[in-house]
Structure 1
Amino acid sequence: MANLSVLLMLACAAALASSAAGLRVELKRVHSDPGATASELTRRGMSWSGRKLTSLDDTLTAPTRKGLPSGGSYVMTLFIGEPPVAFLATIDTGSSTIITQCGSSPQYDPSSSPSFTELPCNSSLRPELCVDETCPCTFNQTYAVGWASGPVGVENFTFGSAVAGAGQGLAVTIAGIAFGCINESSGGWGVSSGLVGLGRRTQSLVSQLGAGRFSYCLTPFDDANSTSTLFLGPSAKLNGTGVRSTPFVTDNPWARNAYYYLNLTGISVGGTALDIPADAFALTSDGHGGIIIDSGWTTTALVDVAYQKVRAEILKLVTLPTVDASKETQLELCFKLPTDASTPAMPDMTFHFDGADMVLPPENYMFLGSGVWCLCLESATASSGSVLGNYQQQNMHILYDVENEMMSFAPADCTTL
C-alpha cells in the first residue's frame, strides 16, 4: 500500500491543480500597535531582524534557525479545520514548518474539529516534523527567543478569500495538510498565531501542495494600509521586459537542505563596483557562508567583509554627520538630518547575481527615521552567511520556480498586483 503521506500530497496537488489559475492569497504587514507611525513600524521590523540574526550560527540541520514570528513580518490569513477557524501566519521562505497556536476559542481547537487526524505513523513527513519515532507524533522546535511544541496533525486548510483569476469572495479548501499544533511555547508571537514555511523541505506548504512554484510582491514598509500578494501554483508567473532570472545554488549538498541559496558575485553602488573578495558569498562544503533569500527576515545581512565595503562607500557619498541611533533603529550607520531637510540624492545599489542584476533604489537600502537616515543593512559573521531580507525586496515581484531551480524577479508596484 502506498505511503499515506504520499497519497495526501497527491490529493493536495490535485486540489491545487483543480484551481486552474492556482491560489492567490493576500498578505499584510501586521504590527502590535496599529497607531504607530510608519517609521516606528519600520524600526520595529529592524529590531525583529536583529533578534533573528543572533541565531544565524545555528547549524543548518536544526529544525529552524529563526526567531518566533512577531512585528515586522508579512502575514496571511488562513482558516483551519471544520468549521474553519481563522489564524494569522507569518510567511517564511527561510522555514519549512507550518505551525499554529492551539487552544480554546478563539484559537483553533483540534478536539472540536471532526476533520483533524493525527499524523499517520507511516508518514514520510515524520523525520522532518517529529521529535522522535514515538507515535502519535509531537514536534519541539527551538528558536532564537523561545521554543514551541505540541502534537503534529493533519487538517483541512482554507486559503484566503480569492482564487487567482476567479474574482474576490471565493476560497479554496485543501484537505490533508500536515502541521504542528502549538500547545506549549515560550517567547512572544505578537499578533501572528503561527508560521507558514515556504522552504525546500517536504513539510513546507509549497511541497505539500505540490505547487512547483510560487511568487510574492511585498508592498513598501512605510505603507501600512496596502495589501501584498502571494501566488501559489500556476498563478505564480512574471511577464514583461524587466524580468531577470538567476539559478538557485544546487551544486552543494547543503544548498538543497532547507533554504534558497543564491550565487551573489558582487555589489555595486552607482557605477562603482565594490572590492569584495570573490568568495565572500560562497557556500562552503561544510554548510557555512552563502547567501539565502528570506521573506521572513527584515534587514539584509552581509558578511562583515562585504558590509564594511558597502559602509565605506556610503560614507563617501553622504556628507551629513553620523550619529549613534542604533538603540532607536537597530542599524549601525546613521546620519543626522537637519530639521526639515530632505534626504540627499543617492544612486541605486546593485546586487550582481549569477546572470541577473537586482537593482535596489535608495528607498530599498536607506531607512528614514525620526531625524535620522540610516543604511538599512547589517553585518553578519562569515560562518553564519548572508541573508537577502524583505526590506530589500519591497516593490519587487519575486518568483521561486522550485521545480526548475530558478529565481526570477522584476520591479513592480506591489499595491496594484
Structure 2
Amino acid sequence: MDMFSSSNSEEDAKTAGLMGMNRGSLSFVSQMGYPKFSYCISDVDSTGVLLLGNANVPWLNPLNYTPLVQISVPLPYFDRVAYSIQLEGIRVGSKVLPLPKSVFEPDHTGAGQTMVDSGTQFTFLMGPVYTALRTEFLEQTKRVLRVLDEPDFMFQGVMDLCYRVGLNQTTLPVLPLVSLMFRGAEMEVSGERLLYRVPGETRGRDGVYCFTFANSDLLGQEAFVIGNHHQQNVWVEFDIENLRVGFGAVRCDLARQRLGMGH
C-alpha cells in the first residue's frame, strides 16, 4: 500500500536523511521492503511530496530513467549505499563542455562517483569539470550578469562564482540552460535555480547571488553530488527493484494537490 507524506522543501531534504532512505540494509526503505519511492522538492514557498511504494500517478509525464551504478567490490572512496548514477556530460545552452567521458567516471579507488543526494543543498562537481562549467557559464553570461569582484568572498566556503544583481530587479536576466547529461536521462537547471540569493549580503544597491554549482574539491569530497536545490520541481523516482532512477519535470505544488494532499 502506498504511503504519503509532505513537508516544506528544506525539511524534505532533512527528513529524507533522518528516515534513512539510502540503499543500506538498515535504511528505512530497506527495512520496510519498498520496491521504490518518489519525492518532489518544491521551492521555499510551497511544500513537497514523499511517496513510498509504487506511485499511482497517471497524470505524471513519463520519466526518463538512468541506471543505478553498481560495483561488486568495496572501494575506499565509493559510497555503496548512496544512489549513484553515471554523469556523462554537461551542456550549457547549446554547447556541450569539451570534456572526455572518462573525467565523469569513478577511478580505481571509487573517487568520482555521481550521487543523487537530497540532504545536500547545492550541486558539487569534481575540479576539472567544475572549472570547465564555470568558465563556459561566465562566457555565456558576461553581457547580462555582473561578477562580484571580491576574490576573498566565498559563500559557505565553497561557492566562488558570485554576482551583483540590483535589489530593484524583480527577475533575473535570461540565463543559459545547464543540462546534466546522464546515461539515458537529463536534468535541466534553469533560471532562478542557477543562482542563489545570499541572505543578508548586499553591496550598495545590489544583492549578492552565487552560482549554484561548486567545486567538490573544496568540500573535501571526491565525488559529484546532485543536491536538492537542483531537484526542485523535479519528480525523482528511486526504482530500487529495477535498479534505476527516474527524473521528470513537474510543478510540485500542483502534484501535491492532485495527490489529494491539500494546498
Is residue 242–residue 411 contact of structure 1 (8 Å, CA) maintained in 2? no
| Contact 2:16 2:119 (8 Å CA) reproduced | yes
Alignment deviations for residues 120-150 of structure 1 (CA, whole Å, 9 cap, x no partner):
xxxxxxxxxxxxxxxxxxxxxxxxxxxxxxx
Query: Is this contact kept in 1: 2:172–2:191, CA < 8 A?
Result: no
Q: Which runs of 5+ in 1 are unaligned?
A: 1-18, 30-71, 76-88, 93-194
**Number of the residue aligned with 1:340:** 168
User: In structure 2, how many angstroms separate the alpha carbons of the residues matched to 1:338 and 1:26?
Assistant: 35
After superposition, the Cα gap between the structure-2 partners of 1:339 and 1:256, relative to the gap in structure 1 and judged at 3 Å, is closer
- TM-score scaled by length of structure 1: 0.53
SS of the aligned residue for 1:309 comes to helix
In 1: Cα distance, 2:31 partner to 2:95 partner: 44
Gapped runs of 5+ residues in structure 2?
256-263
Q: Which is bigger in relative contact order (C-alpha 8 A, separation at least 6)?
A: 2
How do 1:316-335 and structure 2 match up within 5 A? 316-319=139-142, 320-323=145-148, 324=150, 325-327=153-155, 331-335=159-163
Q: Which residue in 1 is equivalent to 2:21?
A: 198
Matches for 1:153-232 after TM superposition, within 5 Å = 195-221=18-44, 223=45, 226-232=46-52
Q: Say whether residues 1:355 and 2:191 are aligned partners.
A: no
**C-alpha root-mean-square deviation of aligned residues, in Å?**
2.4
Larger Rg: 1
Q: 1:373 is matched with which residue?
A: 209
Give the C-alpha shift of residue 296 in structure 1.
Answer: 0.6
Inter-partner Cα distance in structure 2 for 1:299 and 1:236: 30
Instruction: For residues 284-317 of structure 1, give each alpha carbon's deviation from its aligned partner in whole angstroms, at most 9, with x where no partner exists.
Output: 3322221100011111000011111111111112
Residue 311 in structure 1 maps to residue 134 in structure 2? yes
Provide closer, same or farther for how the CA distance between residues 327 and 380 of structure 1 changes in structure 2, counting only shifts above 3 A: closer
Map 1:74-223 → 2, pairs under 5 A: 74=12, 90-92=15-17, 195-221=18-44, 223=45
1:340 deviates by 1.9
**Identity across matched positions, percent:** 28
Determine the structure 1 residue equivalent to 2:116. Answer: 293
CA–CA separation in structure 2 for the residues paired with 1:332 and 1:383: 17
SS in 2 for 1:326: coil
- More helix by percentage: 2
What SS class does the counterpart of residue 378 from structure 1 fall into?
Answer: strand
For the pair 1:413 / 2:251, whether they are aligned, the reply is yes
In the superposition, the TM-score normalised over structure 2's length comes to: 0.81
Pick closer, same or farther for the CA change 1:203–1:307 going to 2, 3 Å: same
CA shift, 1:403, in A, is: 0.8
